[in-house]
């Protein structure tokens, strides 16, 4: 619930602490943010643009695909890495897990199931996604924010941050992580959905993607571990439509051309899922 993460929140205008006043959050400087009836709060600055956020249709597609369990091995690998990252004898049993680009909260909820003492902040620019994230787990608080601006979290407030198929703001991730805290980042490899990329003309992943991620995060965080998670999906035509509709290719795919290409695929079609789960630590 949102109240679980309120002690970690910061005003997006002045970075001061936020406290609840009936149906709003306010800072000492007088900035006020109304709580949405769907359970989330928007901490966007007034001049922020939300046009890059996932649409209601994209969010619905993602929710359906993830609920079917197709990406369960990714969620399991992330939860395992999260448990390992917080397993040090000196680590506190309680604290914040922040998910930057949390979407529907699916992966954050899975991680919180493995960390019963923790609370989670689902951060995303899509209000459609956060309506679902606010209900994804009883210990999730959902916050609308822009990943490319100062995050509405206090300095050194998170023991662990997640970033799954989402934008990465290295300086802000470092600021929000406590010293010694960990970022767990999931990104697709060049093999991810390769059969669909070739058959349907979807956006492809650069072979050097992980190297470029490491370079951008390098000035702020130290790489500590990395593993590939790869498995085979067996997708019916509707599953293929859903996986296309939930990702970045949804912005670039013509529905009629997609329907024609889908007609040429076997039913079911075997598709490779391939991601890298990488850990980074704040020095």
Q: Is residue 167 part of a domain?
A: yes
Q: Is residue 134 part of a domain?
A: yes
Q: Which two tokens stand for residue 153?
A: 């979290």
Q: Which residue has the tokens 């923790």?
A: 118
Residues in Cβ contact with 213 at an 8 Å cutoff, skipping those fewer than 6 apart:
168, 185, 187, 278
User: Which of 14, 151, 27, 159 minimizes the C-alpha distance to 84?
Assistant: 159
Range of the domain at 64: 2-189+227-232+273-281
Q: Is residue 221 part of a domain?
A: no
Q: Is residue 113 part of a domain?
A: yes
Put the strands of the sheet holding 177-188 in their side by side order. Answer: 40-42, 140-144, 118-124, 95-100, 158-164, 177-188, 269-281, 222-235
Distance CA 168, CA 36 (A): 26
CATH number at residue 24: 3.40.50.150
pLDDT at 47: 62
Distance CA 231, CA 218 (A): 29
CB neighbour class for 153 (10 Å; exposed up to 12, middle 13-18, buried from 19): buried
Q: Is residue 277 part of a domain?
A: yes
User: Strand, coil or helix: what is 211?
Assistant: helix
Cα angle 175, 177, 179; round to 5: 100
pLDDT at 253: 66
**pLDDT tens digit string along 47-97?**
666 666 788 988 999 999 999 999 999 999 999 999 999 986 556 668 999
Cα angle 221, 227, 233; round to 5: 130
Distance CA 170, CA 14 (A): 20
Q: Is residue 201 part of a domain?
A: no
Q: Is residue 44 part of a domain?
A: yes
Cβ atoms within 10 Å of 183's Cβ, excluding its own:
28
pLDDT at 49: 62
Domains held by the chain: number: 1
Q: Could you give the dihedral angle defined by the CA atoms of residues 178, 181, 184 and 185, in that order, rounded to the nearest 10 degrees? A: 50
pLDDT at 77: 97
Distance CA 247, CA 252 (A): 10
**pLDDT tens digit string along 154-183?**
999 999 999 999 999 999 999 999 999 999
User: Which of 109, 116, 140 minimizes the C-alpha distance to 6?
Assistant: 140
Q: Is residue 68 part of a domain?
A: yes
pLDDT at 252: 61
Percent of the chain as helix, strand, coil, to the nearest 5: 35, 30, 40
| Residue stretches of the chain with pLDDT short of 50 | none
């Amino acid at each position: 619930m949102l109240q679980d993460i309120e002690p970690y929140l910061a005003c997006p205008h002045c970075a001061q602490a936020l406290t609840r006043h009936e149906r709003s959050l306010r800072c000492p400087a007088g900035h006020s943010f109304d709580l949405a009836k769907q359970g989330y709060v928007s901490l966007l600055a007034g001049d922020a643009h939300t046009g890059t956020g996932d649409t209601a249709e994209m969010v619905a597609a993602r929710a359906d695909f993830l609920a079917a369990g197709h990406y369960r091995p990714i969620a399991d690998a992330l939860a395992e890495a999260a448990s390992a990252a917080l397993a040090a004898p000196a680590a506190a049993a309680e604290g914040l897990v922040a998910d930057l680009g949390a979407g529907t909260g699916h992966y954050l909820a899975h991680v919180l199931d493995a960390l019963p003492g923790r609370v989670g902040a689902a951060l995303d620019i899509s209000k459609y996604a956060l309506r679902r994230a606010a209900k994804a787990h009883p210990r999730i608080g959902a916050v609308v924010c822009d990943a490319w601006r100062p995050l509405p979290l206090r300095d050194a407030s998170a023991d662990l941050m997640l970033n799954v198929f989402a934008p990465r703001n290295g300086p802000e991730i470092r600021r929000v992580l406590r010293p010694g805290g960990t970022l767990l980042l999931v990104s697709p490899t060049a093999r991810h959905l390769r059969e669909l990329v070739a058959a349907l003309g979807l956006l492809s992943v650069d072979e050097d993607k992980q190297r470029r991620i490491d370079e951008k995060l390098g000035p702020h965080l130290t790489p500590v571990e990395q593993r590939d998670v790869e498995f085979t999906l067996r997708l019916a035509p509707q599953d293929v439509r859903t996986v296309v509709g939930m990702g970045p290719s949804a912005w670039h795919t013509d529905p009629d051309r997609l329907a024609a290409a889908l007609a040429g695929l076997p039913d079911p079609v075997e598709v490779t899922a391939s991601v890298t789960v990488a850990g980074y630590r704040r020095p």
